[in-house]
C-alpha cells in the first residue's frame, strides 16, 4: 500500500506504507487509509518531525561512538558496524524521509491549505 499526501499548495507526495505510517505516528495522527492535517496542526507536526529527526540522529551518533570505542556489541551495533566496515550504505534516515513532508507542510501552512492523504 502507498500513502499519497495532497495539498492544493504543493505537488503530491507518495510514501510506502511503513514510512507513511511512521510519519503519521510522529505527528500524532492515526495511520488510517485516509485523513486530514489541518493548517492549525501543521506547526506542531513540523516540530514533532524535527524532534524525531534529532532524536534518531543522536541515537545513531551514540551507536557510532560505541562502534568506534569497541564496546560490547548488540545486534544493532553489530549490524551497523558490519555496514560501515563492509562499505554498505546505511538505511535511509528519518531526516531524508521527513524532509519532503516537512517542506510540504511548510508550504501548505504558508498558503493556508490543508494536507489530506489517502491510500
Total domains in the fold of the chain: 1
Residue 74 grid cell: 548488540
Show the low-confidence residues of the chain (pLDDT under 50).
none
pLDDT at residue 69, as a whole number: 75
Domain with 7 in it = 2-118
CA distances from 72 to 54, 85, 100 (A): 25, 17, 37
pLDDT recorded at residue 75: 57
Q: How far from each other are the two terminal CA atoms of the chain, in whole angstroms?
A: 7
- Total-model pTM: 0.78
Which regions of 1-119 does DSSP assign to beta strands (E)? 2-7, 10-16, 34-37, 115-118
pLDDT at 98: 97
d(CA 34, CA 60): 32
Q: Specify the pLDDT at position 102.
A: 98
What's the confidence (pLDDT) of residue 89? 75
Structure-block grid coordinates of residue 17: 506504507
pLDDT, residue 32, reads: 94
pLDDT confidence of residue 110: 99
pLDDT value of position 38: 98
Helix or strand (DSSP H, E) at 73: none
Q: What are the CA-CA distances from residue 99 to residues 39, 74, 104, 108 (Å)?
A: 18, 30, 9, 14
Amino acid at each position: 500500500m502507498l500513502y499519497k499526501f495532497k495539498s492544493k499548495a504543493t505537488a503530491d507526495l507518495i510514501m510506502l506504507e511503513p514510512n507513511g505510517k511512521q510519519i503519521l505516528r510522529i505527528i500524532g495522527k492515526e495511520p488510517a487509509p485516509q485523513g486530514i492535517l489541518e493548517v492549525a496542526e501543521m506547526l506542531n507536526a513540523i516540530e514533532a518531525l524535527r524532534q524525531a529527526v534529532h532524536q534518531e540522529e543522536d541515537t545513531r551518533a551514540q551507536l557510532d561512538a560505541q562502534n568506534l570505542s569497541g564496546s560490547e556489541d548488540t545486534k544493532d551495533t553489530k549490524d551497523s558496524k558490519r555496514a560501515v566496515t563492509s562499505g554498505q550504505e546505511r538505511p535511509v534516515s528519518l531526516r531524508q524521509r521527513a524532509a519532503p513532508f516537512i517542506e510540504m507542510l511548510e508550504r501548505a501552512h504558508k498558503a493556508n491549505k490543508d494536507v489530506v492523504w489517502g491510500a
